[in-house]
Chains A and B, each alone.
Chain A
Amino acid sequence: MKVIVPVKRVIDYNVKVRVKADQSGVDLANVKMSMNPFDEISVEEAIRLKEKGKATEVIAVSIGPQQASETIRTALAMGADRGILVKTDGEVEPLAVAKILKAICEAEKPELVITGKQAIDDDSNQTGQMLAALLGWPQATFAHKLEMGDGKADIEREIDGGLQTVEVKLPAVMTTDLRLNEPRYASLPNIMKAKKKPIDEKTPADYGVDVTPRLKTLKVTEPPKRQAGIKVKTAKELVDKLKEVGAI
């Protein structure tokens, strides 16, 4: 069974972004970039499936600029077998990403695609679901626990009210939530080995997908800023203040 893991190169989660003065976007110059944290969780889960003998091959796919190959290398160093880089500069919307992934799935015929539940830059939370719909496959979003069965998988999901388990027929798409696993760090020998693993380079045109954004970003602005308020000295003073302003 093949597993495909789409990995996105995003601004590191520790970086606080700054909006550009001309409101055209956020400043990404010289900012630290990393693999989307949810995608690390996806890679980890895929590798565990391979270690348990459930998966035969793990393929990491990234759609983005040349530097996205570094993100694929990270996945390879963690234990993925090979990579596919679909090269494009500029913004790619989830629907276009999903269309490219669909074409890759049709060629590679995986039994499972594991995406992150959201990318921490755009927070769209769409790609996996869109891919599943385009392929006519079932999905299990916000995965908390995966149990592989015969031609099916039971997946426990994090939902607003608690946890929910769904059963999906394979092939399927799963999107990962924070507590599915704790991703490993790549060891030095594995980082070296990863350098020799193959990465195929493609373009969206190879898959016949037009990636021109459909949404027009008119401007990007700063949210209203909160001012730090006052310090109180005691719990009593806190309660009194809250009472005074009618908050309790």
Chain B
Amino acid sequence: MASLVIAEHDGKVLKDTTNKTVTAAAQVSTPVHVLVAGSGADAVAEAAAKLAGVEKVIYADDPAYAKMVAEPMEKLILSLADKYDAILAPATTNGKNYMPRVAAKLDVPQISEILKVDSPDTFERPIYAGNAIATVQAPAGKKVITVRTTAFKAADATGSASIEKIGGAGDPGISKFVSEELSKSERPELTSAKIVISGGRGMQSGENFHLLDKIADKLHAAVGASRAAVDAGFVPNDYQVGQTGKVVAPELYIAVGISGAIQHLAGMKDSKIIAAINKDEEAPIFQVADYGLVADLFKAIPEMDEELTKLGY
């Protein structure tokens, strides 16, 4: 039949997690359609129409979708579900929020955070904080899938799909968006940055994260953190990398003052190159690091900054 990808966006910009989900969807069932649920998100629909391999964009323009509140999203997706044998969303906090509702209503299991499509009904997914990979086969019927986007390449922008505009499917009126407090940053997003530099409890304070900011600005990197650094209030919650935070797989991950607990490794061990700076040579992070520097970060980071300056960064 076909697969439906639910687009991730902020009302203005299509997120590249969508592009990656399109790649996964094309391996499950074709043609691929993309649902853009938003309010005044025309630019997003246009961007989605350019994704290679997408046949059609369905653009549901309604105030109920401005913040992708789960209950109206469930209704909308269910209203379209008949025509598809697979429905996929990126495993973002949005995807994780509305997709299980859709699966439950369709009376099918959801397959969470797939890493690989082995065949149209067989998928690989991480369990136990990524310390094991399960290969699971879905039963006959519709497939509801969330995608770990770090495991898929992004579809490029060489396509030209048609855009079908539809109205809303109704708001059950049991929930509503009140407000949000978003972290503002000029830097790339954590989950799509090519370089990530993360700080842990060893940073000692939020102030000290400025040391990492300086390096991040030079390398066009995103800044992340361990749970300990978030819990201590050094940085906001959306910085957290790990099993229960964000999963990242950049070209380069630099861990600074992070011990390397299982839960942290779960969120970064698929990075291409890992560098670690820690004053404890026994720290488990060194077991996964390609380049380890045993040093006091308060000395090493300014030195690193200076070296980069010398090299013209």
Residue A163 at the chain B interface, CB threshold 8 Å: yes
Within 8 A of B (CB), among A136-168: 136-142, 144, 154, 157-168
Interface of B: prevailing SS: mixed
Interface stretch, picked from B45-53, B131-139, B153-161, B199-207, is: B131-139
Beyond A17-B128, A223-B126, whether A138 also contacts B71 by CB under 8 A is yes
Task: Check B175 against A168 for contact (C-beta < 8 Å).
Answer: yes
A19's closest neighbor in chain B, by CB?
Answer: B132
Query: Which residues of B lie under 8 Å from residue A218 when comparing CB positions?
Result: 122, 135-137
Beyond A167-B175, A222-B133, A230-B292, whether A94 also contacts B273 by CB under 8 A is no
A154's closest neighbor in chain B, by CB?
Answer: B178
Total chain B interface residues with beta-carbon distance under 8 A: 94
Within 8 A of A (CB), among B163-186: 172, 174-183
Beyond A166-B177, A247-B273, whether A229 also contacts B293 by CB under 8 A is no
Beyond A158-B238, A160-B246, A232-B293, whether A238 also contacts B176 by CB under 8 A is no
Task: Check A217 against B230 for contact (C-beta < 8 Å).
Answer: no
Task: Check B304 against A235 for contact (C-beta < 8 Å).
Answer: yes
Given A130, A167, A232, A248, which contacts B104 in the complex, CB threshold below 8 Å? A130
For the complex, give the distance between the alpha carbons of A34 and B228 in Å: 21
Within 8 A of A (CB), among B64-113: 67, 69-71, 74, 92-94, 96-105, 107-113
Task: Check A133 against B104 for contact (C-beta < 8 Å).
Answer: yes
Interface of A: prevailing SS: mixed
A228's closest neighbor in chain B, by CB?
Answer: B287
The interface of chain B, by Cβ under 8 A from chain A, is 10, 67, 69-71, 74, 92-94, 96-105, 107-113, 122, 126-139, 172, 174-183, 191, 195, 219, 227, 230-231, 236-238, 243-244, 246, 251-252, 262-263, 269, 272-275, 277, 281, 286-295, 299-301, 303-304, 307-308, 311, 313
11 contacts between A and B (CB under 8 A): A17-B128, A26-B127, A129-B70, A164-B180, A178-B244, A215-B139, A219-B135, A230-B292, A234-B293, A235-B303, A240-B307
The interface of chain A, by Cβ under 8 A from chain B, is 11, 13, 16-17, 19, 26, 38, 93-95, 98, 117-118, 120-134, 136-142, 144, 154, 157-169, 172, 177-179, 214-223, 226, 228-243, 245, 247-248
Which 10 pairs of residues, A with B, have the shortest CB-CB distance?
A: A229-B290, A129-B100, A235-B303, A133-B101, A130-B104, A138-B175, A126-B100, A165-B178, A138-B174, A162-B182
